[in-house]
Amino acid sequence: MGDCHYLYGNHMTVKRITFLQALLDFIGLGGRLHLAWISSAEAQKFVQVVADFTEHIRVLGPNPLKGLGLTTAGAQKCRSNGRTHEPAKEPVPAPAAQ
């Protein structure tokens, strides 16, 4: 790491992936994000990483959140406490740029 010709891009990627992995763990989707450093000259490594991760996802099974009825368009039921959160009637305007 650190030899990327985009200077600090790989360091920022590790930070972002680490954050996203923690976020996915928090919402119950842990283990579903993977980062691997692969050169464009490493076709066999790419094939192996993709095959291994595909099998890992297959073992994890389907999305555990799929059957919870969470949608972006309708009311969202929070299963942890039974409350229903209704979506806003009108879009909330974005804050003005300073």
For residue 74, is it within any domain? yes
pLDDT at 42: 95
Model-level pTM?
A: 0.62
Q: Who contacts 57 (Cβ-Cβ below 8 Å, separation ≥6)?
A: 32
pLDDT at 67: 79
- How far is residue 89's CA from residue 57's CA, in Å, rounded to a whole number? 37
- How far is residue 24's CA from residue 30's CA, in Å, rounded to a whole number? 5
For residue 94, is it within any domain? no
27-74 residue pLDDT tens:
999 999 999 999 999 999 999 999 999 999 999 999 988 877 765 544
For residue 43, is it within any domain? yes
For residue 98, is it within any domain? no
pLDDT at 91: 56
pLDDT-derived band of residue 75, with 50, 70 and 90 as boundaries? very low
Q: Which domain holds residue 32?
A: 9-85
Total count of domains within the chain: 1
For residue 13, is it within any domain? yes
For residue 35, is it within any domain? yes
Query: Taking the alpha carbons of 63, 84, 79, 22 in that order, is the dihedral positive or negative?
Result: positive
- How far is residue 28's CA from residue 93's CA, in Å, rounded to a whole number? 30
